[in-house]
Chains A and B, each alone.
Chain A
């Protein structure tokens, strides 16, 4: 791997709430290189979005507290950088898109105006030039009639169009990293295909690194180079998609792959679910957080959190005491 562009090191973000301490991110590390796509997969409450929000400075402190960690962008730690430096990076070098574009777009301003404003905030550019660039961007993300649509308000856009507009805004300053938090979850599947197609095309044109945060293992299989599997605020497994899907070394990954109904296969007799419920981030079980649901669990799993260690090769990491046993299992993804 080349020099990473953005890397997170041993990040711990804990939320102090009435009910207790929510360990949303608890010792998470990942990195992404230029032009790469990293998938971050997890269920709701796994903390999968929190590290990205921390990169953007969107985690409110308090209730949150950074217990440890660094967020390095081109070697600069965003957590200790001064405000001016952070502002110069966030939005310009790194930008983010969200599941619901309606909450991210301001309903009282015209779409074109909002995009132009973002451009002007970072670049010395006249209003007319910024407007023209906004129209170009809307055209580039596949909005028909961009000149006219730029003068419309967000509510006049359909869900898919809004997501396109938000992508246009996020790409306005040609960022090096795009954080995409469930960008297609609220969309229909044919529109999802359009949006993913657009992201890939833009990535190819501009060499943007994309962090794709989702719960959909299919989406990651189709679009990511590497994948990070999160469980209960911790990293369960990290590796190339082929390693993780075909040679999973964490029982949670294996369990997820086994439990999925597949559209491309004739009906199997029965799905094989993961037993039990995902834990609350306030009461994460001691030892490995997955141990109460894990078919491989032994005493050591209940006592000791397994370290995230290389398995097979240096780039395939898993946090499991028994990953050797998993190596003997046939992955359900292999077809």
Chain B
């Protein structure tokens, strides 16, 4: 296995400007603050976290839909952070995106045929017969081509979105919460389709999600994000069976499972309060302000370390990297 994508020290800050005549920066929203990860060829790598953790910004920066503030993104060894406009256009064929909201990601005034022909038109390719082949690939019928998006259900629209992403035969597909807007009974259909396509077309997925149940099913490896940084990363079963960062533990313990007996037996690790502002993240460990371990288990001297020293994302003997000075694996599910 070789790395298809290597992300190194990626940073995205949105400046906050003030003043009307003399515009000047008064601070920055630190949406993504120095994260690194690799995507292996053919795997599904999931970025999970709650709203505002920077996972969507990361996804868009990987596709260069957003210009990163610093750091590098290499695609097949080539640094694409510095790629010019024409190189970028060529790269667009290699990496595509599936969006969250199938009601917002399709132009309401274009037919499905128009939507699926567009990738070919943009890149000056022959689209003959391609639309039907794509529809077939995602489980729709050729006669659907003449219809408008509003004539389809959510699940069918998401299939159209998937077909569009597949049109140019990309190697990498970024899936941004691809099933979270779908009805429960439709999700499994779309997840199965994504898995089938991956096997068939040797796709690599960067899977952005907040729903840990879907992630557990679909991902090979997972990285958990909190306030713009990765706090823990591991192969999927490892992460769910032996989470070692207190945030990962809280996240896993908070997800309800559809099994009354298990629910009765589980204990919840509750975190207090809300996510702090990414403009002014806490010093040291960013999670310490809400961390149940910090509040209940650590001595004052230990707490001081959390306040002073940002924990590195390294393996502290738990079998996988975790950004907690006092990482300790726990069994929660």
Given contacts A259-B188, A274-B188, A277-B155, contact A333 B258 (CB under 8 A): yes
A257 beta carbon closer than 8 Å to chain B: yes
Smallest distance from the beta carbon of A109 to chain B beta carbons, Å?
A: 23
| B251 at interface by CB-CB < 8 Å | yes
| A188-B50, A261-B188, A274-B185 known; A218+B260 contact, CB < 8 A | no
In the complex, chain B residues whose CB is within 8 Å of the CB of A161: 274
Contact A263-B252, Cβ < 8 Å, known A161-B274, A188-B51, A217-B184: yes
Asked, given contacts A44-B183, A221-B263, A273-B192, whether A158 binds B274 with beta carbons under 8 Å apart, the answer is yes
How far does the alpha carbon of A267 sit from the alpha carbon of B156 in the complex, in Å? 25
A312 an interface residue at 8 Å Cβ cutoff? no
Interface residues in A262-287 by Cβ distance below 8 A to B read 262-268, 270-275, 277-278
- Residues of A contacting B17 with CB < 8 Å? none
A85 within 8 A of B: no
- Tell me whether B214 and A221 are in contact (CB under 8 A): no
Q: How far is the CA of A273 from the CA of B189 in the complex (A)?
A: 5
Give the complex CA separation of A334 and B188 in angstroms.
19
Within the assembled complex, what's the spacing in Å between the Cα atoms of A158 and B292?
21
Contact of B213 among A190, A222, A262, A274 (CB under 8 A): A262
B268 touches A245 (CB 8 A): no
In the assembled complex, B328 has its CB within 8 A of some CB on chain A = no
- Please provide the chain B residues from 162 to 185 with a CB less than 8 Å away from any CB of chain A in the complex: 183-185
Q: How far is the CB of B142 from chain A (nearest CB, A)?
A: 19
State which of B184, B274, B333 has its C-beta within 8 Å of the C-beta of A263: B333
Q: Do B259 and A333 have beta carbons less than 8 Å apart?
A: yes
Nearest CB in chain B to that of A261: its residue: B217
Within A204-224, the residues touching B (CB, 8 Å) are: 215-223
B195 near A270 with CB under 8 A, answer: yes
**Please, what's the 1-or-0 string for A122-156, where 1 marks a CB less than 8 Å from any CB in chain B?**
00000000000000000000001000000000000
Assess the B184–A262 pair: CB atoms within 8 A: no
Establish whether residues B251 and A43, one from each chain, have CB atoms under 8 Å apart when the complex forms: no
Complex-state Cα separation, A236 to B72, whole angstroms: 54
Number of interface residues of B (CB under 8 A): 48
Q: How far is the CA of A160 from the CA of B4 in the complex (A)?
A: 39
Give the residues in chain A near B274, CB-CB below 8 Å.
158, 160-161, 191
A245 and B262 within 8 A (CB): no
Q: When the two chains form their complex, are residues B258 and A245 in contact, meaning their CB atoms are under 8 A apart?
A: yes
Q: A-B pairs with CB below 8 Å: how many?
A: 148
Q: Are B213 and A261 touching (Cβ within 8 A)? A: yes
Give the complex CA separation of A194 and B275 in angstroms: 13
Given contacts A43-B185, A263-B255, A273-B189, contact A268 B270 (CB under 8 A): no
Known interface pairs A194-B270, A197-B268, A260-B213. Does A215 touch B240 (Cβ–Cβ under 8 Å)? Answer: no
| B153 → A minimal CB distance (Å) | 5
Q: Pick the contact of B216: A194, A246, A262 (CB < 8 A).
A: A262
Given contacts A191-B274, A261-B213, whether A335 and B262 have CB atoms under 8 Å apart is: yes
Residues of the B chain whose Cβ atoms lie less than 8 Å from the Cβ of A191: 50, 274
The answer on a CB contact under 8 Å between A260 and B192 is no
Total count of chain A residues near the partner, CB < 8 A: 51
B51, B260, B274, B333 — most chain A CB neighbours (10 Å) = B260
Q: For residue B195, which residues in chain A have a CB less than 8 angstroms away from its CB? A: 270
Q: How far is the CB of B199 from chain A (nearest CB, A)?
A: 11
Nearest chain-A residue to B152 (Cβ)? A277
A277 surroundings in chain B (CB, below 8 A): 153, 155-156, 186
Report yes or no: A189 in contact with B251, Cβ–Cβ below 8 A: yes
User: Is the Cβ of A190 less than 8 Å from the Cβ of B187?
Assistant: no
Which residues of A (15-61) have their CB < 8 Å from a CB of B?
A: 43-44
Q: Is A319 an interface residue (CB 8 A)?
A: no
B237 within 8 A of A: yes
B83 CB within 8 Å of chain A: no
- B271 cross-chain contacts in A, Cβ below 8 A: 190, 194
Please state if B263 and A267 are interface contacts (CB–CB under 8 Å).
no
5 smallest beta-carbon distances between A and B, as pairs: A218-B256, A273-B188, A261-B217, A188-B50, A222-B263
Query: Which A residues fall within an 8 A CB radius of B?
Result: 43-44, 144, 158, 160-161, 188-194, 197, 215-223, 241-242, 245-246, 255-257, 259-268, 270-275, 277-278, 333-335
Supply 14 further A-B pairs (C-beta < 8 A) apart from A193-B253, A263-B257, A333-B258. Answer: A43-B184, A43-B185, A193-B254, A194-B271, A194-B272, A197-B270, A241-B260, A242-B261, A245-B258, A245-B260, A260-B258, A261-B217, A262-B257, A263-B333
Q: List 19 A-B contacts (CB under 8 A).
A: A160-B274, A189-B251, A190-B254, A197-B270, A218-B258, A222-B256, A245-B260, A257-B258, A259-B185, A259-B187, A260-B213, A261-B188, A261-B218, A262-B213, A262-B217, A264-B333, A271-B192, A273-B189, A335-B262
